[in-house]
Amino acid sequence: MSRTKKGKRAGDKKQRGRGGGNNGNNDRTDYSAIAKENKKFENYYINQGIVPDEEEFKKFWQSLKDTLPTTWRFTGSKGHAVSVRNTLQTHHIPALTNTTFEGALIPAPTPLSWYPDELAWQLTVGKQVIRRSPPFKQLQAFLVSETSSGNISRQEAVSMIPPLLMDVEPHHMVLDMCAAPGSKTSQLIEAIHAGEEERVAEAAKRLSGGEGIDTSVDGEPPEKIMGKTTGVVIANDADYKRSHLLIHQTKRLNSPNLIVTNYDATLYPSLRLPTKRDPNGGKTMQEYLKFDRILCDVPCSGDGTVRKNPLIWRDWNAANGNGLWSTQARILVRGLQLLKVGGRLVYSTCSLNPIENESVVHVAIERCGGPSVVEIVDVSDRLPGLIRREGMKNWKVMDKDGTWFENWEEVLEKGVPYTDRLTRGMFPPTDQDSDIANMLNRSVRVYPHLQDTGGFFITVLQKKGAVKAAPEGEKIQTGGQKMKGVNVRAGDEAKKAAETASDVDVKLVEETDLTSASLATGAKRALSAEDEEQADPGSPIKRQRLDDTADTPASAGKDEDEELKLLDIPSTEQNHRTQEFDEDPKTDVIAKKPRGNFNEEPFKFLPPSHDVLALIKKFYGLSSYFPLDNFLVRNQEGIPVRTIYFTSTMTRQILSENEGRGIRFVHCGVKMFNRQEVQDPEACQWRIQNEGLGLVEAWVGDKRVVHLKQKETLRYLMKELFPRVEDVAEIRERVEGIGGGCCVLRVNIEEDKDELGALVLPLWKSKFTLNLMLPKEERKALLLRLFNDTEGPKDSTREQRESDAKARREAKEKGEDEDQDEEMKDEEDDGGIKIDGEDD
């Protein structure tokens, strides 16, 4: 048995069942020495019959040992993603087609046939070719550069499937319950923003053309009038540090419609919405947020990722899946409670194990009231091109000692310890002809041998009626049998009652404004379903639940954290991993208090009449349609000190309504304005941040807009960190007339339309120089993509300034012209503003 140099098996104790793999953790196992064999693992799946045909099973098993192709997605708004993809197709693919290496033809990258708009690709060649074949080397440089500027995201092909089956629309309220590191969250954010660019451009044109506001949308949030997305994505993870990974991963998308929270998803709190007055009774109603779409991409054993996580070969154990079952089921039930009637929830894992998949789906549907309340959606006609297998309706349960059980009765016969370790809910429907059994086939199983991918499981659920979730220990009706739920300990009455949650989403304020005190005094009474669903998560009852929840073993590794390093493309996430992340906590099940200290500055919204906002509005000539009430700052005093963030109206309402409730909000808002020390008294101190530019540019008045049409001008502005105004002939007159400070540069180069899309950049005008305020990585990526420039930007003015200073000193020594000296001094001061890169 292979051991780490620390003398401890990575799968032991703390890392039990994690199988998390080789993503740079402290474990120094030599992964190449791990044999890709494990009889227990193989026999388990032969016995479960997941691939019933013997010959096909052999192919399936062999495929688990093969190297996984590298896959990636073009990210961002569709227009932007398409423009970067076009560069791959026009510049790289022709050079890669028919390339040979050591006499053999090397396959060029190909788009994934089932992914819309050819925005996801895969590459099957090895490192050696990439390093030694010039066109592949160039491809690698392109991929690395676009990945570091956030235009490409490496993601396992199968992991891209769940968001595609959610049918997210721009007005949807979306919850991603176990979201870190955030690959799928990014897809969800992209989905709520789909088509936004076109809608905003149209609205801006219509409104500036004086057509006025469409009165039919009066009273709607300003986003609606402006063509912007009104929906919200709430991305949650129970691990505090990993919730920050989520922020990093989704940062490039600059969505004001994103909120990140830090909760144990089994206990996800009900979030308040603004109260509404009942039009009939005149009473005030407290509304709670229900979601149109929910993703439960739960922690799992991850054995479907074995192609990239060799430790799974060594550490696989049936106990991993069994130990996760209870938490997975709780997360799914909580998700179904939080879903709107008519809403859609996707449950997914990267495990092949029916215990973590169909079994969890089965027990959750039963707990929520059966197929009349929750239905599995048939998605067999979706994503044509994706080869898949049906979900299973029959399976067995294996104890960690290797004993197999066909049904719960056999477990009862054997008694302890099996009755302690297994539970009735894990077993398949006893009536194999029941509605629920027949629905289970609608789940989607993706196997590695079918299309050279990882293994994955997806079920799409639709909520048809209000959920009255049965307590885990209650006897509930299932397919004609009485079925006992999971792990309820005697005497745990309060907890049992608390878990009887229904899904009321509106209550009279007087009745439901549950304070900690009222809950504490009423702790003896059984909590009603509504109480539980709407109780403040900071209340004693909630805390008790957090602490009481049964301990669950750590889960095994999964997800995109551990992407193949085949191309040596730095994943944006890996770039920012800390040692602690390297310990791979992502796959631990967290069924207690969220992990890590919670230490966040508050989110304070500025009043729209705030002096600073008035100043900004005037300087940039912002349209009167642009909402001024969605700006926030991150300090207790609510003072705009350095950065002002922008959110959507709905995210503001969610944050404001839940202020003071102890909700663990970790992130919200896009940096829109940053304070800049300026010497020019005419210039506004608040410059537009690159992150927020896309949100405001359509509403900036002409007086702060510069148009650029010539490619060479753009190249010069990109290449030089401080280009001189006098050297930019095309826009010189315009920028000289515009006055100092920040302005919006609109680039419209006819010949490069396909690759540039609609490029809009923040530009800073000083007395003698200009400065594109772009993060270095983005500037470098654009230089490479548009001008094939591999060297990146340079600062010639610095060299010039240094030589000017020298000349001045020499002139002074000789007693030459004083005026020239003054002019040069001004110029030197001007060059003092350095704004390359936006990071604070």
Ligand X SMILES: C[S@@+](CC[C@H](N)C(=O)[O-])C[C@H]1O[C@@H](n2cnc3c(N)ncnc32)[C@H](O)[C@@H]1O
- Identify the helix (H) or strand (E) that includes residue 674: strand 670-675
* 558: contact with ligand X by CB under 6 A: yes
Toward ligand X, which CB reaches closer, 555 or 690? 555
Residue in this structure with the two tokens 């009165």, named with its chain if needed: 215
Decide if residue 299 touches ligand X (CB under 6 A).
Answer: yes
Closest approach of ligand X to the CB of residue 183, in Å: 4
> Do 137 and 130 meet the contact criterion of CB atoms below 8 Å apart?
yes
Specify whether the CB–CB gap between 322 and 355 falls below 8 A. Answer: yes
- Binding ligand X by CB under 6 A: which of 293, 586, 634, 719? 586
Binds ligand X (CB under 6 A): choice among 159, 286, 320, 459: 159
Q: Find how far residue 283's CA is from the centre of its chain.
A: 39
Distance between CA atoms of residues 606 and 631, nearest Å: 6
CB-CB contact of 64 with 51 (8 Å): no
Q: What is the DSSP letter of 227?
A: T
DSSP state, 465?
S
Closest to ligand X by CB, 264 vs 838, is 264
368 is catalytic: no
Going 398 to 399 to 404 to 405, the CA torsion angle's sign is negative
Helix%, strand%, coil% for the chain, nearest 5: 40, 15, 45
* 756 close to 769: Cβ distance less than 8 angstroms: no
How far is the CA of 728 from the CAs of 276, 683, 710, 720, 760, in angstroms? 56, 21, 11, 11, 18
Residue 66 assigned to a binding site: no
Cβ-count burial of 575 within 10 angstroms (0-12 exposed, 13-18 middle, 19+ buried)?
exposed
Q: Which CB sits closer to ligand X, 197 or 573?
A: 573
User: Does residue 573 touch ligand X according to CB under 6 A?
Assistant: no
The 590-629 site mask, x for binding ligand X (CB under 6 A), equals: xx--------------------------------------
Beta-bridge partners for 771: 764
Our finding on whether 303 is near ligand X (CB under 6 A) is no
CB of 671 to ligand X, least distance (A): 23
The single residue among 64, 68, 179, 426 that binds ligand X, judged by CB under 6 A, is: 179
Q: Is 180 annotated among the ligand-binding residues?
A: yes
Which of 51, 82, 160, 589 forms a contact with ligand X (CB under 6 A)?
A: 589
Cα(639)–Cα(147) distance, rounded to whole angstroms? 36
How is residue 32 written in tokens? 């190449």
| Nearer CB in complex with ligand X: 239/292 | 239
Alpha-carbon distance of 162 to 187, in angstroms, equals: 10
Judged by CB under 6 A, does residue 530 bind ligand X?
no
Number of residues that bind ligand X (CB under 6 A): 25
183 is annotated as contributing to ligand binding: yes
User: 260 or 591, CB closer to ligand X?
Assistant: 591
Among positions 27, 239, 657, 691, the unique one binding ligand X when judged by CB under 6 A: 239
d(CA 49, CA 396): 10
Binder to ligand X among 184, 193, 251, 449 (CB under 6 A)? 184
Q: Return the residue of 196, 264, 536, 777 that touches ligand X, per CB under 6 A.
A: 264
Interface region with ligand X, contact rule CB under 6 A, candidates 231-239, 415-423, 676-684, 819-827: 231-239
Q: Is 516 annotated as a binding residue?
A: no
Cα-flanking dihedrals φ and ψ of residue 682, to 5°? -80, -25
Please indicate if the annotation marks 63 as binding a ligand.
no
Q: Name which of 218 and 551 has its Cβ closer to ligand X.
A: 551
Cα–Cα dist 149/141, whole Å: 12
Specify the amino acid at residue 840. D
User: Is 178 a residue that touches ligand X (CB under 6 A)?
Assistant: yes
190 binds ligand X (CB under 6 A): no
User: Toward ligand X, which CB reaches closer, 558 or 704?
Assistant: 558
> What residues are paired with 706 via a beta bridge?
745
Any known ligand binding at 182?
yes
Q: Of the candidates 77, 124, 266, 539, which one interacts with ligand X according to CB under 6 A?
A: 266
* Shorter beta-carbon distance to ligand X: residue 442 or 558: 558
Q: Does 237 belong to an annotated binding site?
A: yes
Point out which residues pair with 705 in neighbouring strands. 744
179 labeled binding residue: yes
Provide the minimum distance between the beta carbon of 298 and ligand X in the complex, in angstroms, as a whole number: 6
Q: Is 27 in the site for ligand X (CB under 6 A)?
A: no
Interacting positions 357-386 with ligand X (CB under 6 A) = none
Write down the catalytic residue from 300, 350, 684, 742. Answer: 350
Of the listed pieces 80-88, 132-140, 181-189, 468-476, which binds ligand X according to CB under 6 A?
A: 181-189
108, 161, 166, 238: residue in contact with ligand X (rule CB under 6 A): 238
With CA atoms as reference, report the closest residue to 598 among 235, 183, 237, 180.
237
Residue 237 touching ligand X (CB under 6 A): yes
Q: Count CB-CB contacts under 10 A for residue 144.
A: 17
- How far apart are alpha carbons 442 and 435 in whole angstroms? 12
443 contacts 458 by C-beta, under 8 angstroms: yes
Interaction of residue 182 with ligand X, rule CB under 6 A = yes
Determine how many CB atoms are found less than 10 A away from the CB of residue 207: 20
Angle between helices 796-814 and 818-830 (to 10 degrees): 150
CB 353 within 8 A of CB 317: no
Nearest to ligand X of 184, 424 (CB atom): 184
Q: Given the rule CB under 6 A, which of 262-270, 361-369, 648-656, 801-809 is the region that contacts ligand X?
A: 262-270
Catalytic residues: 350
Annotated binding site for S-adenosyl-L-methionine: 178-184, 237, 264, 297
Contact positions vs ligand X (CB under 6 A)? 159, 178-184, 237-239, 242, 264-266, 297, 299, 327, 558-560, 586, 589-591
- Residues within the annotated binding site? 178-184, 237, 264, 297
